[in-house]
Amino acid sequence: MRTLTYREAIREGLDEELARDPNVVIMGEEVAQYNGAYKVTQGLWEKWGDKRIIDTPISEAGFIGMGIGASMLGVRPVMELMFWSFHSVAFDQLVNNAACVRYMSGGLCSCPIVVRGPANGGTNVGATHSHIPEGLFAAFPGLKVCAPATPADAKGLIKTAIRDNDPVYFMENTLLYGMTGEVPDPADGDFVIPLGKAEVKREGSDISLIAHGRSVIHCLEAAETLQNEHGISAEILDLRSIRPLDVDAILATVAKTHRVVLVDESKPFGGVSAMVSHLIQEHAFDELDGPIKRVCTIDAPAIYSPHVENDQLPNPKRIVEKVLSMI
C-alpha cells in the first residue's frame, strides 16, 4: 500500500471529489494560486481553474455565508478556514444557518457544505489561534463533526463529508499535516469511511484509551510505553467521527477492558470526553472496575510558551501517568 502524508491524503480526496462531481468547489483564503495556507490545496487551482478553486476575501462570515447559500442551490462547497479558531467570526452562519436549514425548511432544503481546516493547539500561535471546537459544534443538532487522526482516515472521511447532504465540519491538525501513513490506492476502488464509525487502532485487554484526532497518536505512543515498561495492554479506540458518535464501539471496548481513560484536546469543562463519559456511565456502568478518568487540555487559554503549551495539551507522558494511577 502507498504511503502519503496527512496533507497529501486530504488533497487526493479533494481532487477525486472534484473529478467525480462538477458541483464540488473549494473556497477559502489563499486556496488557489497560493496553494493554501498549509499547502493542502497545492496544484488544484492549476488543474481545475478559477471556477472550481476560488480565493475569498478575509471575511469568514462573508464566504461561509456564500457557501451556505450556494449549497442550498445545488453546489457542494468545501470551505477552508485558515484556523478553526476563526469560527467565531462566522458563528451565526455556521450554527444559526447551516445547522438549521434542513429542519426549518421542513426538509425541502439541504445544506451539503464542508468546512475544513486546522483545529488544534500545540503550534505556539497564542490563545486566539488555538481553539479546539469540535465539542462545541457537536452540541448543535443538524451538524456533523469529524476529526481524523491518520492519512487514510483523513482521505476516507473528507470524501464522505463532501458527499453528505448535511453540513460536515472537518477538524484537522497542523501538527499532523506532515505525518505519513498507508492510504489505499485509487486504482483499488473508491475509498470512503462512513461517518459515525469508530476504529480500534490497537487491540488491548487491560484498559481502553478512547480518543480522536492527534490524541490518538499520543495514545499509540503511550500504549507502547505501557506495554514495554509496565506490562499493561492498552486498547485504543479512535472515535474518528464526533457526531454521529459510534456508541456501540465505545461500549464494546469498555466491556472488554473494564477500565477507561478518555483523551481529548478540548478543555475539560464539557467537551467530547465529557459526553463519552456520560454515555459509558449510563449504558455500561456495571462493566467498569473503576472510575472513568480523563486527560484533557489544562483549563486555561492556550499558552504561548512552547514548553508550557506542550504540557498543557494531552501528551504520552500525561496519559501514561493517568493509566498508572488506575492500575
Q: Which residues are catalytic?
A: 60, 129
Residues whose CB falls within 8 Å of the CB of residue 22, separated by 6 or more in sequence, listed in order: none
Annotate the chain with three-state secondary structure. CEEEEHHHHHHHHHHHHHHHCCCEEEEECCCCCCCCCCCCCCCHHHHHCCCCEEECCCCHHHHHHHHHHHHHCCCEEEEECCCHHHHHHHHHHHHHHCCCHHHHCCCCCCCCCEEEEECCCCCCCCHHHCCCCHHHHHCCCCCEEECCCCHHHHHHHHHHHHHCCCCEEEEECHHHCCCEEEECCHHHCCCCCCCCCCEEEECCCCEEEEECCHHHHHHHHHHHHHHHHHCCCEEEEECCEEECCCHHHHHHHHHHHCCEEEEECCCCCCHHHHHHHHHHHHHCHHHCCCCCEEEECCCCCCCCCHHHHHHHCCCHHHHHHHHHHHC
